[in-house]
Amino acid sequence: MQSIPKFTGFIRQLVEKGMIDAEHMLSAIETAKQLDQDIVPYLIQNHHIHPLDIAKAISHEFGDPLFDLDAYDSSLIIKDSVNDKIITKYKILPIFRRANILYVATANPTNITAIEAIRFSSQMHIEAIIVEYDKLKKLIEQHYSGEEIFNFDDDFDLEISDDTQKTTPTEDDILKDESPIVKYVNKLLVDAIRIGASDLHFEPYEKIYRVRYRIDGVLRQIATPPLQLATRLASRIKIMSQMDISEKRIPQDGRIKLKLSKHKAFDFRVNSLPTLYGEKLVLRILDSSSAMMGIDSLGYEPDQKALFLEALSKPQGMLLITGPTGSGKTVSLYTGISILNQEEVNISTVEDPIEINLEGINQVNVNQKVGLTFATTLRSFLRQDPDIIMVGEIRDLETAEIATTLRSFLRQDPDIIMVGEIRDLETAEIAIKAAQTGHMVMSTLHTNSAPETLTRLRNMGVPSFNIATSVNLVIAQRLARRLCHLCKRPINIPFQSLLEMGFTEEDIQNPTFQLYDANGCSACHDGYKGRIGIYEVMKMTPEISRLIMEDCNSIQIAEASQLSGFQNLRRSGLLKAMQGITSLQEINRITSE
């Protein structure tokens, strides 16, 4: 408690009441300052302090009553006195006006910059009314977003990558930085980042045009702009990603870089697809910081984490990560490579496309148009003295050429080889040969479970002996939605039903046993916020090696693994449900009983 005297105002109250300790509060203040973010939303989003608790602390500090926006008639919002950009940027809303006094709802009246901005814009005297941040944010989003063309915060800096062909746009309204179309697209991109979306879908249909975000793995409709804007929206996005806007008959790929601040940037991987009613565009948000958050953020159970780190520390052998598309394999792969990324090693990757940018790693993006293929890049790597090589993806047509290059890797004294995905026998055989001759190999496959991965290699034609003697660890994974900690509600399920779902009697009889379900609030909307990994981590034991040598199936391998403490995806998911992290309904969605 020695640090508490450093704090004043409502910040001190939050620390004294034990809602956050002094050390974390100091860190939060410093980080929010670096990100140029208001401390109130930062504490809510990153330290899970309830908006009502913060509002009460501020109300107590100022001696003013707390105003409940749920009781406010939103038709009274004063929309003609303040620039919309200020309202959306500072989350401060004019709700009453009396003579020359403008009453504004704010979750942080200590934000002098926001108060001064709205005073300057309105040229009126400002009186702050204290409200809860989540309710204020929701009200602003309801009345300052949607199908209208947005005013946009000009402080954001858009950078467009130059790895695709430059084009000459033809329409004035998609060229001018101040045009409504430009502001609207920019707003959608930034909102997608702020809300935590992974993808944006721009979709034309016969009678409507819709924009959807994929949030926590689920698509949600965000806006339905006028159908007549479809062509201009597509053209604007294609210009930003430097596609050819005159070409609408074939799919195209591009990339956008968006800087939110000096310390935070996001890449968007863009793909266009001709459909019946126009071009559909999908933007995948790539956040390089996701690979730098560390292994503890991924959701491994302690024993699973220990096995992962043990496999990474081994000088040779194969570590395989498996799961369907969108299950987080790339983040797991890059997290492992980040742990191994040391100053004394030379790491090179060739990817199509690069998904995560990592400092200290030489990454090459394939460009078929100019002849920069996997094969030509890999040949160049051989002259770059690599220690670690990662091949982002192996295309079927180039298998033989890449396989030949991989053979060359074995003569280049690499410590670690990373193959983005094993798709065929030749690649698998060379990767296994590398794992058997003093190299550590990391790669991914598309299989449903860890035991199935071993039988998949065998079905590809890899001899059972080579599998048994080269694979050290297999990780299968899924992503489950996290329950919103602000609104999750406890539920009770009959004892017998719990047993049928996979819980043990020991689980159920534990005094701390409690399951939760999604509820929904203004902070999360549907009861979930964020995602967490669900894993099964299978170590190659002598018994599993024996079963592989005997050509046993994946069911037999799974049964033998469980005898040595192996937890399948279902069991790992049930543990997350018992910890209150996710719901039983979510585990049922992503795993089988």
DSSP 104-121: EEES-TT-HHHHHHHHHH
Summarize pLDDT for 399-422 with one digit per residue, the tens: 434 454 455 455 555 666 666 667
pLDDT for position 347: 67
- CB pairs under 8 A, 24+ apart, for 7-15? 9/61, 9/110, 10/54, 10/57, 10/58, 10/60, 10/61, 10/110, 11/39, 13/57, 13/60, 13/61, 14/43, 14/49, 14/53, 14/54, 14/57
Q: Judge whether 311 and 335 are in contact, CB under 8 Å.
A: no
In this predicted structure, the answer to whether residue 548 has a pLDDT above a threshold of 80 is: yes
Q: Please classify residue 555 by burial: count the beta carbons closer than 10 Å to its beta carbon, then call 0-12 exposed, 13-18 middle and 19+ buried.
A: exposed
Summarize pLDDT for 457-498 with one digit per residue, the tens: 898 888 999 999 999 999 999 999 999 888 899 999 999 999
- Alpha-carbon distance 229 to 225, whole Å? 7
Confidence of residue 181 (pLDDT cuts 50, 70, 90): confident
pLDDT for position 440: 78
In this predicted structure, the answer to whether residue 444 has a pLDDT above a threshold of 70 is: yes
One-letter identity of residue 441: V
* Residue 316 DSSP class: S
b/e sequence 498-508, b meaning 16+ C-beta within 10 Å: beebbbeeeee
Measured in whole angstroms, the distance separating CA 129 from the mean position of its chain's CA atoms is 35
Q: What is the mean pLDDT of residues 513-521?
A: 91
Confidence of residue 21 (pLDDT cuts 50, 70, 90): confident
Top mean-pLDDT range of 253-262, 362-371, 554-563: 554-563
Beta pairing partners, 391: 350, 419
pTM above threshold 0.85: no
Mapped onto helix, strand or coil, the DSSP state of residue 279 is strand
For residue 331, what are the contacts with CB-CB under 8 A and spacing of at least 6?
290, 291, 298, 356
- Domains defined along the chain, listed by start: 4-143 (3.30.300.160), 157-286 (3.30.450.90), 291-481+533-567 (3.40.50.300)
363 closest CA partner among 387, 389, 385, 344: 389
Q: What is the mean pLDDT of residues 51-73?
A: 87
Of the chain, the percentage scoring pLDDT greater than 70 comes to 79
Summarize pLDDT for 256-307 with one digit per residue, the tens: 888 776 667 788 989 999 999 999 999 999 876 665 667 888 999 999 999 9
